[in-house]
């Protein structure tokens, strides 16, 4: 018997980090309707571990955070808020792509769906779509305190059983429900939770879905239909006429969907339509019907009229006369804030950088290098940093307006004016801010959902003469325009200044219209904008958003 040879060095097999370890955390996708307190809950779950990431291929940010339960590590990925998985713009495909992944092993391990207790019916629409995806689902129920006040009573356990996903009430700001939620997520990723119970559509539809799903595996007919394939097949069948069917819209998804599946889905849609089943309308019908059944057993609405305070406030804010007056006053305040409140800080920064420049300059000899450091690096950095107070103040004000719910009302008031030149009410605040300073104005345009509107707004923002130009205008006017009077009252110089501002204002709508018709051609995005109930803005959210920007 020869002893085991130790002459040959054997390679160690690669050590793959265990699932749930910090090197290989459980991945949980977080999704929900807009205005559900998703951000606050995300913060409560992940704390300071948050960072802003980037979804490939789209212009929106993703937020990623993590938490630990005992020895298990979790990575939370925030998906953009939406009302439905049916994508209507390239940005909205992100959610479907994240849930599908680029393969069975690259999907999240579970999905956390945030649901607003005061808006159950509508929120459940997205949830029932998520239940299709084959991953374990956990429901984080927010606004439960508001619901209680409104007299809404929800049987969480019954609801959870009907859905096949545990429903955990949380109060993020008070940190209530966070531990149970984390534990439910842990159970979910370790497959210890309930199995999701998706909505079953009519038999003909489900059998067509099966057929499409069989063709998902590289066109080869497979006998076993995986949940991922089935989810993708159903979405393809329902949304295939739109963006999901467009091969160029997303490379990850187009690789996942073979042509055979695409073709079959198209013919399936036709067969169903011939039988009087409207695609995609049938999805809405089936889901809301199912939601009504589910809520029958678990929801009791109060009798009192809801959202009294919000209605009272709205009566003033959106009032034809007072609402407009209040709005103009508010905007003037925002403007003023950016101009004057930031000024002392900006002067201080300016002075600080000049001092640094002088100080450093003393150590360096005359010449190009010194100039590079003092005038280039230091002054250059200073000229960027000097904007920070303005940006911070603007973003603080904007976040307060957004979080309190006022922003939606502002867009509501201004929409008619803005649609006159092809934009929507959502563009108003970024454009107004650009009069003070285009930098924070353009940055705040990131919140505009429609890509075309967002770009158009950013393009015309510089046309709103910003405050830095004022001294230049004044100087040039003083130098070139004689101090004559026109029509007895107006000074020619004053008129010219007015004209400089007006030219920008007049050209802007034309440019916006032009852009939307030519370079930024595309489908119009519906305005439909939710007017959430008023709430006192949370300081945490404001501070975090300002810090983040």
Distance CA 422, CA 254 (A): 33
**Residue 304 touching other proteins (CB under 8 A):** no
**Residue 526 touching other proteins (CB under 8 A):** yes
Distance CA 289, CA 286 (A): 5
**Residue 413 touching other proteins (CB under 8 A):** yes
Select the span of 78-86, 226-234, 396-404, 436-444 touching other proteins (CB under 8 A): 78-86
Given candidates 148, 149, 183, 306, which one binds other proteins under the rule CB under 8 A? 306
Contact of 534 with 401, CB cutoff 8 Å: no
DSSP 8-state secondary structure symbol assigned to residue 173: G
Select the span of 106-114, 281-289, 395-403, 438-446 touching other proteins (CB under 8 A): 281-289
Torsion angle in degrees (nearest 10) through CA of 239, 241, 246, 247: 80
Q: Which is nearer to other proteins, 50 or 119 (by Cβ)?
A: 119
Contact of 438 with 459, CB cutoff 8 Å: no
Q: Which is nearer to other proteins, 346 or 531 (by Cβ)?
A: 531
Q: Which is nearer to other proteins, 416 or 521 (by Cβ)?
A: 416
**Residue 528 touching other proteins (CB under 8 A):** yes
**Residue 447 touching other proteins (CB under 8 A):** no
Which H helix or E strand runs over 66?
strand 61-69
Q: How far is the CB of 133 from other proteins (least distance, A)?
A: 17
Quote the longest CA-to-CA distance of the chain: 119
**Residue 119 touching other proteins (CB under 8 A):** yes
Name, in order, each residue with C-beta under 8 angstroms of 139's C-beta and a sequence gap of 6 or more: 112, 113, 114, 115, 127, 160, 163, 165, 166, 167, 168
Q: How far is the CB of 311 from other proteins (least distance, A)?
A: 8
Q: Taking each helix axis as running N to C, give the angle between helix 406-419 and helix 308-317, from 0 to 180 degrees, rounded to the nearest 10.
A: 40
Q: How far is the CB of 100 from other proteins (least distance, A)?
A: 20
Residue in the block written with tokens 């609405």: 301
Binding letters toward other proteins, positions 327-356, x by CB under 8 A: ------------------------------
Distance CA 335, CA 429 (A): 10
**Residue 314 touching other proteins (CB under 8 A):** yes
**Residue 242 touching other proteins (CB under 8 A):** yes
**Residue 421 touching other proteins (CB under 8 A):** no
Nearest CA-CA partner of 356 in 378, 334, 387, 327: 378
Considering only residues 472 through 501, tell me which ones interact with other proteins, judged by CB under 8 A.
none
Distance CA 333, CA 429 (A): 12
User: What length does the chain have?
Assistant: 549
**Residue 149 touching other proteins (CB under 8 A):** no
Chain residues binding other proteins by CB under 8 A are: 83-84, 86, 88, 118-119, 121-122, 125, 242, 278, 280-281, 284-285, 288, 301, 306, 314, 318, 320-321, 323-324, 408, 411-413, 415-417, 419, 425, 523, 526-532
């Amino acid at each position: 018997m020869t002893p085991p040879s130790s002459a040959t060095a054997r390679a160690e097999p690669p050590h793959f980090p265990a699932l749930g370890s910090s090197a290989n955390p459980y991945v949980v996708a977080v999704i929900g309707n807009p205005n559900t307190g998703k951000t606050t809950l995300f913060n409560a779950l992940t704390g300071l571990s948050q960072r802003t990431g980037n979804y490939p291929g789209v212009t929106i940010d993703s937020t990623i955070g993590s938490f630990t339960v005992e020895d298990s590590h979790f990575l939370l990925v925030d998906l953009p808020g939406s009302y439905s998985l049916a994508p209507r713009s390239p940005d909205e495909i992100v959610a479907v792509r994240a849930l599908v992944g680029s393969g069975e092993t690259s999907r999240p391990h579970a999905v956390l769906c945030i649901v607003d207790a005061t808006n159950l019916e509508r929120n459940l629409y997205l949830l029932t779509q998520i239940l299709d995806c084959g991953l374990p689902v956990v429901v984080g129920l927010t606004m439960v305190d508001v619901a209680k006040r409104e007299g809404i009573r929800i049987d969480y356990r019954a609801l959870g059983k009907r859905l096949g996903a545990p429903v955990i009430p949380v109060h993020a700001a008070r940190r209530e429900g966070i531990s149970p939620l984390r534990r439910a997520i842990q159970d979910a990723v370790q497959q210890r939770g309930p199995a999701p119970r998706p909505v079953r559509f009519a038999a003909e539809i489900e059998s067509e879905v099966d057929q499409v799903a069989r063709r998902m595996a590289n066109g080869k007919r497979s006998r076993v239909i995986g949940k991922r394939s089935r989810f993708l097949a159903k979405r393809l069948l329902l949304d295939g006429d739109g963006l999901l069917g467009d091969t160029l819209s997303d490379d990850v998804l187009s690789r996942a969907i073979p042509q055979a599946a695409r073709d079959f889905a198209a013919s399936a849609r036709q067969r169903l339509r011939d039988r009087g089943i409207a695609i995609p309308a049938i999805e809405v019908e089936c889901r809301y019907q199912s939601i009504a059944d589910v809520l029958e057993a678990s929801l009791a609405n109060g009798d009192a009229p809801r959202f009294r305070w919000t209605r009272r406030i709205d009566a003033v804010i959106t009032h034809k006369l007072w609402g407009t007056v209040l709005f103009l006053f508010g905007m003037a305040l925002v403007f003023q804030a950016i101009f004057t409140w930031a000024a002392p800080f900006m002067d201080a920064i300016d002075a600080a950088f000049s001092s640094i420049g002088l100080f450093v300059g003393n150590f360096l000899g005359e010449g190009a290098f010194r100039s590079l450091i003092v005038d280039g690096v230091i002054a250059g950095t200073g000229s960027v940093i000097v904007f920070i107070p303005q940006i911070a103040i603007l973003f603080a004000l904007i976040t307060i307006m957004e979080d309190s719910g006022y922003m939606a009302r502002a867009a509501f008031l201004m929409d008619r004016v803005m649609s006159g030149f092809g934009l929507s009410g959502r563009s108003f605040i970024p454009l107004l801010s650009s009069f003070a300073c285009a930098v924070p104005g353009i940055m705040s345009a990131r919140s505009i959902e429609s890509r075309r509107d967002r770009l158009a707004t950013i393009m015309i923002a510089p046309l709103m003469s910003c405050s830095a130009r004022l001294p230049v205008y004044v100087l040039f006017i003083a130098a070139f325009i004689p101090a004559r009077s026109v029509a007895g009252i107006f000074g020619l110089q004053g008129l010219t200044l007015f004209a400089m501002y007006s030219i920008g204002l007049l050209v802007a709508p034309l440019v916006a219209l032009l852009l939307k018709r030519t370079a930024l051609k595309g489908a119009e995005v519906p305005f439909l904008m939710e007017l959430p109930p008023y709430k006192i803005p949370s300081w945490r959210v404001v501070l975090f958003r300002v810090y983040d920007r």
